[in-house]
Amino acid sequence: MTFIILDGNLRSLDYWIKTRMGVFGKDTDAVGKFAGSVPVPDFNETSFNKPKPLGQSKVAIVTTAALYQEGGDGFELGDSDFHYETLPREARDLTLGHGSVNFDRGGFAADINVVYPIDRLHEFAENGIIGEVAEYHYSFAGNQSDTVSEIRLDSGPLCAKEMLKEEVDVVLLTGT
């Protein structure tokens, strides 16, 4: 979660978006300029979490490539599809649902690992670099609303619960 200093108080960026977004309306340039001017706080203490060594960790992939298995639901065009697809670790019959005309699909067509490095994870597990590859991995559509509120408040937490149930320790987030 990203934090900012607002009116002398440490607040989450989500709080700022909910309470101050009306000042800028949909002027994303103004929002970007303001966000870039906000000082980043220094924290005196680090997280209380002590991670496992990577060689003992279970790793899952979360991608924004809108991947889905053939015969699956797929993803809607536009910024209103915030569901996620669950991908079994052995699945390779994946379709790239990322719908932007500006996205080059050539890399994915040549090697799925460009956006979904599942084979590299298996190699890491075989070589002891990571503990194991998670049974399931997850795919969202990268084209989302400006606030990403549906993923932050709905499907994102649901996806996180699935990973917690499987005792995933590390998530590799890949974008498109």
Where are the domains positioned within the chain?
A: 3-37, 54-174
Q: What are the b/e assignments for 113-143, b being 16+ CB within 10 Å?
A: ebbbbbeebeebbeeeebbbbbebbbbbbbb
User: Half-sphere exposure of residue 118, counting CA atoms within 13 Å on the CB side?
Assistant: 21
Which of residues 30 and 87 earns the better pLDDT score? 87
Structure letter (DSSP) for residue 26: T
C-beta of residue 96 within 8 angstroms of C-beta of residue 103? no
> Rounded to two decimals, what is the model's pTM?
0.68
Please tell me the predicted confidence (pLDDT) of residue 126.
98
Report the range of poorest mean pLDDT among 57-61, 97-101, 118-122, 144-148. Answer: 144-148
pLDDT tens-digit map of 36-49: 777 777 778 776 77
d(CA 67, CA 140): 7
Please tell me the predicted confidence (pLDDT) of residue 42.
78
Q: For 134-139, what is the mean pLDDT? A: 95
C-beta of residue 38 within 8 angstroms of C-beta of residue 4? yes
pLDDT tens-digit map of 15-29: 555 555 555 555 667
Percent of the chain exceeding pLDDT 70 equals: 65
